[in-house]
Structure 1
Amino acid sequence: MSETDRGTDDHDDAPAPKSIADFLRAQPWIDQVVRMGWLSRGIVYVIVGFTAISVAAQSAPTDDEASPSGALGRIASFPAGRLLLGVLFVGMMLYVIFQIFSLVLIRGNGLDRWWRRAGHALAAAAYSMFAWSAVGVVVSGDESSGSSLVEVASRAVLQNTAGRWLLGAAGVVTVGVGGYFVFRHVIQRGFVEGLTDTDDSVGDNDTHGGAIVVAGIVGWIGRAVVIVLIGFFVIRAAVDFDPDDARGFDRALRQTAGSTLGSLLVLLCGLGLLSYGAFCIASHRRRTIRDNESD
């Protein structure tokens, strides 16, 4: 048999991808998409963290919204801000693609697998909206973000009595999600699973890896506390039957910062969100799509 024939036979014997997931795993460019999206996410959260800190210090103007969508308006105020927003739009769309890829790669039908699928789907939807908002700011130059989705949805749900129970349940679930984040990412260190050359123990990493783990722990604590605050205000809106009590990301922080103790809590949240952004930026070169095989 000639070398040409042997090469042809070897090629023919190579296993063909059996699914979209197998095809994606074989692509050399997929992790570059992940890393650019992860980097863009980090930049947004750094700006959110700084804005939240200014809210705690009660030095932020009312139109500086401490949320991922509000951060887009903040970026637009920078020199060459619209150009940066255009770059971030591309990055956020890459992050959306990363979430979709991650969803497709999940195998198995256990409850934890469907929970992960739901998380990836929600993240893809949320960052698609942020990317769309970025385009709107670039095109119109409007830096305001308007009412939050939480507040708009709460007003709609509280149009009838049954909605009160639905909103209350949503608030309880939101608080539960915050608690789950603490368990999954702070206690179990689940956030390191998509990082190469990174161990969940700080001491088992090199200096860079250890700093990434510390930043990730602090960042997830900050994110969890903010989510719990939002859930608390949603529950209060349901109990009082008053949609004005519902608070999105930004107004939950501003409401909490109304007292000295509350301002300290918001400051800690801001530092946590800033730490989460730093974690994303510092870890983006180590970010990869987790195989998501059944454990």
Structure 2
Amino acid sequence: MIGILAVQISFGQPAEDADDSGAISTIAAQPFGTVVLSLMLVGFVALALLQLLEVLLGMGSPGARVVAAARTVLYGILVATIATLLFAGDDGDSGNEQARDLTAWAMGLPGGRFLVAVAGLVVLGVGLHSAYLGLTRRFLADLRTHQLSGPARTTVAALGAIGYPARGVIMIFAGLFLGQAAVEYDPDEAKGVDATLRSFAETGAGPWLLTVVAVGLLVFAAYCCFDARYRRL
């Protein structure tokens, strides 16, 4: 959904904010949207618990646990967003507004500026790790590739090689914006996914750069279907 909305933005079509909240609001407006959101809520709760268990049980390398901790927070925010929309009937703020509000709250804490800077580094690190996985195709080690035929294995490898870097680019820029907010002590510099995507459209490459990233997100969505089916446990 984020990829589709990003494509709409890249060509100047009216669209909701191209972030998680915008995608969730778009789904809610569709027929049977409440049913779909309820299923998504269960799924994101499961994802958040899975990532939390990876942190608490010390699964994987220290770097992998840091990534799992970041994902736990991300999925927790999505759970709160969907639950608010389902049970409170609140459309919710855009991801950009949420990013600024959360950053402003964090900066109000003792050592808040340092916390925001660390958060920016974590998001940046997760983005770099995502890009690294795609460029090196290390993600294939997490799949039961022996169960895939030759053409299917080639397809999955191509989807991941394109999708992981696309997701990584967005997170890298989001992390940089958080770092800028910490350096300038200005919560308004923090940007959600929607503002990060729009910043691509404002570059010299214009909407084409955003289109490439948006298509990359759609490709990553296709890869995730294979990941869910063939994930190595």
How far the C-alpha of 1:175 sits from its partner, in A, is 3.1
* Rounded Cα–Cα distance in structure 2 between residues aligned with 1:67 and 1:213: 26
CA distance in 2, matches of 1:120, 1:50: 27
Instruction: Tell me what 2:193 maps to.
Output: 249
2:151 match: 207
What amino acid is the match of 1:151?
A: R
Distance 1:89 1:50 in 2: 21
1:91 alignment partner in structure 2: 43
Call closer, same or farther: CA 1:119–1:239 in 2, change over 3 Å: closer
Question: How far is the alpha carbon of 1:135 from its aligned partner?
Answer: 2.3
What is the alpha-carbon distance in structure 1 between the residues aligned to residue 172 and residue 88 of structure 2?
Answer: 34
Contact map agreement 2:84 2:92 (CA 8 A) in 1: no
CA contact (8 A) 2:163 2:218 kept: yes
Contact kept? 1:53, 1:270, Cα under 8 Å: yes
1:141 Cα shift? Answer: 3.5
Q: Which amino acid aligns with 1:92?
A: F
Pick aligned residue for 2:180 from 226, 236, 241: 236
Amino acid at match of 2:69: A
Unmatched segments (≥5 aa) in structure 1: 1-46, 290-295
- Residue 129 of structure 1: how far off its partner (Å): 2.7
1:205: Cα distance to partner?
A: 5.5
- Deviations for 1:220-254, whole angstroms, at most 9, x for unmatched residues? 11111101211232333344443322212111212
Per-residue CA deviation, residues 124-181 of structure 1 (Å, 9 max, x unaligned), is 3321331232222222343333454432233245569x75566455435543432232
Separation of aligned partners in 1, 2:53 and 2:178: 32
Counterpart in 1 of 2:11? 57
Kept in 1: contact 2:45–2:76 (CA 8 A): yes
Counterparts of residues 92-111 of structure 1 (less than 5 Å): 92-103=44-55, 106=58
Summarize the Cα distance change of 1:237–1:281 in structure 2 as closer, same or farther, 3 Å threshold: same
C-alpha distance in structure 1 between counterparts of 2:138 and 2:97, whole Å: 29
Matched length: 232
Q: Pick 1 or 2: higher relative contact order, CA cutoff 8 A, min separation 6.
A: 1
The superposition leaves residues 83-142 of structure 1 with CA deviations (integer Å, 9 ceiling, x where unpaired) of 1111111222232333244446645xxxx7222222223323321331232222222343
Cα RMSD over matched residues? 3.0
What SS does the aligned partner of 1:84 have? helix
SS of 2:44's partner is helix
**C-alpha separation in 2, matches of 1:97 and 1:165:** 27
Distance in 2 between the 1:129 and 1:170 partners?
Answer: 15
Q: Secondary structure at the match of 2:145?
A: coil
**CA separation in 2, counterparts of 1:246 and 1:114?**
27
